[in-house]
A and B are shown apart, each in its own frame.
Chain A
């Protein structure tokens, strides 16, 4: 659930930050506008300030100021002071049509609304009612009334209601985030399952319905392809197994009669040599069939390993002595210290012996004139995981460059590749045991193959990718 929580948290934080940003921007705009127009209003002197200047001098109402009236009353277009009888007792640029006596209803009316389209302000002074007019259409006037109880209720509840609204927004974000996150989580699990090669069938609903539908379609497409590949692989493995089975009995006859002829003392030596060649080549065909069958099974995972714990020394001595018994006159120097001899491997003994036999057989076959063959086993406990490295080396002709290029994965794609079934099988067998194979030229001459195998109970190296 970690990715889901992370996604949810990011979503909610983003949503709340968006709402707060919206509020802050609006508040800033509002304050900016108010500040801009407020400054203009400030330049216009307030009526209360002017009212304080109204006084009487020598029986005449006037403004007590040394400032010129144009400056003092900047922003106002006219002014007057009315006495209690509604008579104009002081005036400043008062239009002629307004210079008259006002009744109480008229005074009440203009104090709330307009006087001949002039928005006016009035202020009561000791000397009468000061009335100042502004240019027509300069401001709008409204009269507001509000019930006291309503007003106090508004003041009391505005804070909590705003807090509740914010909480509601937060919850709405959380709910939306959780739903989206859950849907995304399902998609995520689906993609993971798909990557692991499993079948995916997601519910196609909600905001991710479209994505789920496409993922399901991709999964069924992959399934279809996998089935086709599996069928093809099985068919190929079965075909190879079938051919190798059918060829075995005829080959047994060829080998058997060749052996018989070889042993017949009354046959001319030349014929016996020919029979021997037939037997030897038949044995090669037999080995090739077995290699082909096994490599195909290993490639398509149709060959389960029968793992047992076995001592490296026992395994190597048997492989080398089998080789020596089958190849009279050939000698192999087997070198290992006590630790390597007693190292325990978890291995399919028969299969590993097959790999060893292929390597020893290779040295013998490619150096018919004979050459020194050496097998060394070295325990490498300092490596992680601890491993046993077995080095097969000879002082023969070595690997042809094209073969070595293929074995070391350096061959140009599409280039004419040499056939190296036996060595490829060695790579496969070692990889199936969690080990690694390194092919190189031996110094000063010959071939050198190093097999590194994990010890029993240790982890395995990452298997090398299957080479086509």
Chain B
């Protein structure tokens, strides 16, 4: 897999109209290998024909339920999955995630949100394969190769990111254009029980700015959102 759009995605829903919409949305986002199914039986047939890289599963299906189907398909492989269901009860959500699904999104949903979640899971799951070919992160005139932890300056020279700086930038890049709270950043870097690392985070952010910003005292890429956290400026602002 060179890029996430190469992933083979199997979308399962009993509503043909919704299935059609999902196909359009995913194709619009550049996903080229799509399979769709409206029942457990057709899902099994499709999965047998070609092993999917990602599953989008409805729960209520005419000949069974998405939970059992997920268990069945997940039997031998660690294929990532997202439940997309009208069932919004906490118990359903927890059951689905407890089975090992990577995410649970309730209908109705914003298609952009669905795409972001799929993208996030694919990047996380296939990080190693993707990193070899991932497009560099463009930050103004500088580019960052996250897999190599290298910042390339316009003059061709490079700056090396520390592991912590790389993790911070990775988290911000995954949510580009959106605020990421101090807490979410600390948790991404130091895991749960990060309390007390807030000051360290500020230090790492300062060092990161020195590497990715042209003028670190007036940052244009890594922006502070006062009282909340940080934001990596959206692509359109570049």
Q: Are A256 and B180 in contact (CB under 8 A)?
A: no
Residues of B within 8 A of A279 (CB): 110
C-alpha gap A257/B178 in the complex (Å): 24
Query: For window 263-317 of chain A, which residues contact chain B by CB distance below 8 Å?
Result: 263, 279, 282-283, 286, 290, 293, 303-304, 306, 311, 313-314, 317
Q: Are A325 and B21 in contact (CB under 8 A)?
A: no
Interface stretch (choices B75-83, B141-149, B211-219, B224-232): B224-232
C-alpha gap A448/B177 in the complex (Å): 30
C-alpha gap A290/B108 in the complex (Å): 10
Q: Are A248 and B106 in contact (CB under 8 A)?
A: yes
Known: A248-B106, A248-B108, A321-B228. A253 touches B88 (CB 8 A): no
Majority-rule SS of B interface residues: mixed
Residues of A within 8 A of B89 (CB): 241
Chain B's interface size range is 20 to 34
Interface stretch (choices B2-10, B48-56, B181-189): B181-189
A334 at the interface (CB under 8 A from B): yes
C-alpha gap A260/B89 in the complex (Å): 28
Q: Are B21 and A314 in contact (CB under 8 A)?
A: no
Query: For window 203-223 of chain A, which residues contact chain B by CB distance below 8 Å?
Result: none
A179 at the interface (CB under 8 A from B): no
Residues of B within 8 A of A241 (CB): 89
Known: A259-B110, A260-B28. A321 touches B181 (CB 8 A): yes
Known: A259-B112, A260-B111. A249 touches B90 (CB 8 A): no
Q: Are A252 and B109 in contact (CB under 8 A)?
A: yes
Interface size on A, residues (CB 8 A): 39
A251 at the interface (CB under 8 A from B): yes
C-alpha gap A403/B181 in the complex (Å): 34
Q: Are B18 and A252 in contact (CB under 8 A)?
A: yes
Closest to A290 in B: B88
Query: For window 165-210 of chain B, which residues contact chain A by CB distance below 8 Å?
Result: 178-184, 195
Q: Are B108 and A286 in contact (CB under 8 A)?
A: yes
**Cβ-neighbour of B225 out of A246, A249, A318, A321 (below 8 A):** A321
A244 at the interface (CB under 8 A from B): yes
* Shortest Cβ gap from A337 to chain B (Å): 12
A324 at the interface (CB under 8 A from B): yes
Known: A249-B107, A290-B88, A306-B90. A317 touches B112 (CB 8 A): no
Q: Are B229 and A321 in contact (CB under 8 A)?
A: yes
CB-CB contacts of B116-137 with A at 8 A, as 1s and 0s?
0000000000000000000000
* Shortest Cβ gap from A30 to chain B (Å): 85
B42 at the interface (CB under 8 A from A): no
* Shortest Cβ gap from A258 to chain B (Å): 9
Majority-rule SS of A interface residues: helix
A166 at the interface (CB under 8 A from B): no
Closest to B84 in A: A252
B86 at the interface (CB under 8 A from A): yes
Q: Are B229 and A317 in contact (CB under 8 A)?
A: yes
* Shortest Cβ gap from A139 to chain B (Å): 102
A438 at the interface (CB under 8 A from B): no
Residues of A within 8 A of B107 (CB): 248-249, 251-252
C-alpha gap A176/B236 in the complex (Å): 93
CB-CB contacts of B1-25 with A at 8 A, as 1s and 0s?
0000000000000010110011011
A255 at the interface (CB under 8 A from B): yes
C-alpha gap A324/B180 in the complex (Å): 11
A333 at the interface (CB under 8 A from B): yes
Q: Are A333 and B178 in contact (CB under 8 A)?
A: no
Closest to A375 in B: B227
Query: For window 74-131 of chain A, which residues contact chain B by CB distance below 8 Å?
Result: none
**Cβ-neighbour of B183 out of A254, A283, A313, A324 (below 8 A):** A313
Residues of A within 8 A of B225 (CB): 321, 324
C-alpha gap A251/B89 in the complex (Å): 18
A224 at the interface (CB under 8 A from B): no
Residues of B within 8 A of A254 (CB): 108
Q: Are B181 and A317 in contact (CB under 8 A)?
A: yes
Residues of B within 8 A of A260 (CB): 21, 24-25, 28, 111
Residues of A within 8 A of B18 (CB): 249, 252-253, 256
B87 at the interface (CB under 8 A from A): yes
**Cβ-neighbour of B228 out of A246, A263, A290, A317 (below 8 A):** A317
Closest to B28 in A: A260
Residues of A within 8 A of B182 (CB): 317
Residues of A within 8 A of B24 (CB): 260
Q: Are A244 and B88 in contact (CB under 8 A)?
A: yes
A227 at the interface (CB under 8 A from B): no
Closest to A321 in B: B179
CB-CB contacts of A361-383 with B at 8 A, as 1s and 0s?
00000000000000000000000
Residues of B within 8 A of A321 (CB): 178-181, 225, 228-229
Q: Are B181 and A325 in contact (CB under 8 A)?
A: no
Q: Are A245 and B180 in contact (CB under 8 A)?
A: no
Residues of A within 8 A of B112 (CB): 259
List 5 interface pairs A-B (beta carbons < 8 Å), by A numbering.
A245-B87, A252-B18, A255-B109, A283-B110, A321-B229
A interface residue numbers (CB < 8 A to B): 241, 244-246, 248-249, 251-257, 259-260, 263, 279, 282-283, 286, 290, 293, 303-304, 306, 311, 313-314, 317-318, 320-321, 324-325, 333-335, 342, 350
Q: Which 6 A-B pairs have the closest CB atoms?
A: A248-B86, A252-B108, A251-B108, A321-B179, A334-B227, A252-B107
| Additional pairs, 11, CB under 8 Å, beyond known A249-B15, A306-B90, A313-B183 | A245-B86, A248-B106, A251-B108, A253-B18, A256-B111, A279-B110, A317-B182, A320-B227, A321-B178, A324-B179, A333-B227
